[in-house]
């Protein structure tokens, strides 16, 4: 048919054709619970999500704070807050280049929000954390299903600390 374009995506006939080496992550579970078709495109067909402003904000804040904690493992001291804010600005500039902002997302407002989040975190939360490990890869099995994920911070008391910038408060785990 003239004027019709087709897209040749490698579509597995069933979920059974997904690689048996694939493992389940918390992000995959969250994606599946939110929207099964989005999960299929992202993990079954390997079509990545287009990064949004909020995703970029989260990655930039995470990058700056984890850099602080990575050095704190060795020095036992936080970096100065202006230094961590500068790390955020650098990470934000990198993220901004590869981000597709939605109509309601203002890059300038997100940058200001990120700077405020980093500053508040560094002033009030970071001094209370004594990190033992930063960005720890974990894997194992749950009910015979291979799982893997990342722990943002593990403190010297064995507490798992997750850095999030979501608007909604995450549920807790006892």
Would you state the pLDDT for residue 9? 46
Would you state the pLDDT for residue 13? 47
Residue 70 has pLDDT above 50, yes or no: yes
Would you state the pLDDT for residue 167? 61
Question: Which of 31, 28, 121, 1 has the alpha carbon at shortest distance from 68?
Answer: 121
Question: Which of 51, 62, 112 has the alpha carbon at shortest distance from 87?
Answer: 62
Would you state the pLDDT for residue 6? 43
pLDDT in tens, 105-162: 999 999 999 999 999 999 999 999 999 999 999 998 888 888 888 999 999 999 999 9
Residue 172 has pLDDT above 80, yes or no: no
Would you state the pLDDT for residue 5? 44
Residue 174 has pLDDT above 60, yes or no: no
Please tell me whether residue 73 adopts helix, strand or coil conformation: helix
Q: How far apart are CA 87 and CA 68, in angstroms?
A: 9
Would you state the pLDDT for residue 173? 52
pLDDT in tens, 1-50: 444 444 444 545 455 555 544 677 878 888 888 888 888 888 888 888 78
């Amino acid at each position: 048919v003239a004027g019709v374009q087709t897209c040749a995506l490698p579509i597995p006939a069933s979920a059974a054709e997904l690689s048996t080496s694939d493992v389940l992550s918390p992000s995959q579970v969250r994606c599946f619970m939110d929207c099964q078709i989005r999960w299929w495109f992202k993990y079954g067909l390997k079509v990545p999500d287009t990064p949004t402003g909020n995703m970029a904000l989260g990655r930039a804040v995470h990058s700056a704070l984890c850099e602080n904690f990575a050095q704190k493992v060795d020095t036992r001291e936080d970096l100065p807050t202006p230094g961590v804010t500068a790390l955020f600005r650098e990470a934000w500039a990198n993220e901004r280049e590869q981000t597709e902002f939605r109509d309601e997302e203002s890059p300038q407002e997100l940058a200001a929000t990120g700077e405020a989040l980093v500053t508040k975190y560094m002033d009030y939360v970071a001094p209370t954390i004594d990190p033992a490990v930063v960005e720890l890869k974990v894997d194992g099995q749950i009910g015979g299903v291979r799982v893997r994920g990342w722990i943002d911070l593990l403190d010297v008391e064995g507490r798992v600390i997750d850095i999030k910038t979501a608007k909604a408060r995450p549920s807790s785990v006892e």
